[in-house]
Amino acid sequence: MSWFRLTFALVALFAIGGCGWQPLYGRLGQGDSATGGDAAPALASVHIAPIADRTGQNLYNALRDRMNPAGAPGEPRYDLVVSITEQTNQMLIQQDQTASRIDLTIYAHYALYQRGNSKPVLLGQSRAVTTYDLLSDSDEFATIQSANDAHRRGANSLADDIANRLAVFLAQPSGG
């Protein structure tokens, strides 16, 4: 059984290598023939424009943590502009017609501009869905905290998606 697994693993590795797969953040090979791994420096060269509202601030901070962990780029090559919208839907309607759960959907529309150009090199959108509980009227603080946490979780999910999409784009020879 172990020979079967070893053979399968080797065949899978050759199949992945044959289809043009290359790592996003690491390098394959050594010296000048190494491929892949251009995403981290390219992401670090992106200036992230401030995003309005508290959820936008959470998204901005999460993007900065993922893309610019060493701080704002000194000489950015790109500008990232993000706008967000939110939608809530009441769920779990109780017998007295009050909702006890809210679905929060946050949409992010983003554009990546090469520094000095007014035409974006990449346009995209991302969506995150989170939920939170509406607690009793006597515990309004807990409901506010629950809603804030849902917004923060949604912003983190959007940041993961946007950073990954930008990394894939910028790691391509024509993208970065």
3-state secondary structure 50-107: CCCHHHHHHHHHHHHHHHCCCCCCCCCCEEEEEEEEEEEEEEEECCCCCEEEEEEEEE
pLDDT bucket at 29, cuts 50 / 70 / 90: very low
Pairing outcome for strands 46-48 and 78-93: parallel
Tell me, what DSSP letter sits at residue 19? T
User: Distance between alpha carbon 69 and the CA centroid of its chain, in Å?
Assistant: 15
In the block, tokens 């917004």 appear at: 151
**Average pLDDT value for residue range 106-135:** 94
Task: Please write the tens of the pLDDT for every residue from 50-103.
Answer: 999 999 999 999 999 999 888 888 889 999 999 999 999 887 666 665 657 889
For the whole model, what pTM was predicted?
A: 0.77
| pLDDT value for 142 | 83
Comparing CA positions, the residue from 67, 165, 157, 62 lying closest to residue 123 is 165
Which tokens sit at 155?
């912003």
Dihedral (Cα; 121, 61, 57, 48), 10-degree rounding: -30
Report the C-alpha gap between 176 and 114 in whole angstroms.
10
User: Could you tell me which CATH class the domain 37-171 is placed in?
Assistant: alpha beta
